[in-house]
Chains A and B, each alone.
Chain A
Amino acid sequence: GAGVSQTPSNKVTEKGKYVELRCDPISGHTALYWYRQSLGQGPEFLIYFQGTGAADDSGLPNDRFFAVRPEGSVSTLKIQRTERGDSAVYLCASSPSGKSSYEQYFGPGTRLTVT
């Protein structure tokens, strides 16, 4: 079956611009996660959705970052006034349940470069 998909695969933007990153989870997965991975680091948690609601957004670094999942399926991560430090790979993962014992299935990521 189809896995997690993310678009775009690469995004280059200028400092100060607004970007949207999209995630299509595996069909039927209620839990959706966004992570950010910088070079040489492990994925760093940003936000977790259970259905349509953000169950945990404690990983969002500041108020320039926002994410939505209006119908409980596709999610969009939105970054305002991008900064060079936002450059990273943004990974989305989905899971059948929000329990941490369940495997998370990752998408291929969006590589964001802020120039």
Chain B
Amino acid sequence: RKEVEQDPGPFNVPEGATVAFNCTYSNSASQSFFWYRQDCRKEPKLLMSVYSSGNEDGRFTAQLNRASQYISLLIRDSKLSDSATYLCVVGSGYSTLTFGKGTMLLVSP
């Protein structure tokens, strides 16, 4: 079983749509959770950290369910500039981060 699993997509949505991505992780000792964004042929950049209480940053909402080992990202009112690959990332303590394969989002006019 892969450590971090994501649906690779692509998710094709029109501008203004709401889209949700999910991710599951296998290491129950994981303590840190993130969504990174990666544009085509660019480096990953942190989109947001994910907390157990859930957190929101503008149009983006992230949720964590530790019992189910499940992380989600919701994007509201999609913009063309949201087109990218979204990487689910998990870490624990002082260990390294484990990245999922990413979910590709394509927002069309």
Q: Is the CB of B46 within 8 A of A103?
A: yes
Number of B residues, CB within 8 Å of A: 24
Which of A41, A56, A99, A108 is within 8 Å of B101, CB to CB?
Answer: A41
Which residues from chain A contact B8 at a C-beta distance below 8 Å? Answer: 40
Complex interface: chain A residues within 8 A of B16 (CB):
none
Chain A 40-64 interface mask (CB, 8 Å, partner B; 1/0): 1111110010000001100100000
Q: Which residues of A contact B95 (CB under 8 A)?
A: 56, 100
- Determine the residue in chain A with the shortest Cβ distance to B104: A40
- Contact present for A42 and B99 (CB under 8 Å): yes
Nearest Cβ in chain A — how far from B70, in angstroms? 18
Check B43 for interface membership: any CB of A closer than 8 A: yes
Residues of B within 8 A of A48 (CB): 96
Q: How far is the CA of A91 from the CA of B99 in the complex (A)?
A: 13
- B interface residue numbers (CB < 8 A to A): 4, 8, 31-32, 34, 42-46, 49, 87, 91-102
Interface of A is mostly: loop
Q: Does A109 contact B (CB under 8 A)?
A: yes
Q: Which residues of B sit under 8 angstroms from A41, Cβ to Cβ?
A: 101
In the complex, 14 of the A-B residue pairs with CB atoms within 8 angstroms, ordered by the A residue number, are A40-B8, A42-B4, A42-B87, A45-B98, A55-B94, A56-B95, A59-B96, A100-B32, A100-B92, A103-B34, A103-B46, A104-B97, A106-B43, A108-B43
Q: Is the CB of B32 within 8 A of A101?
A: yes
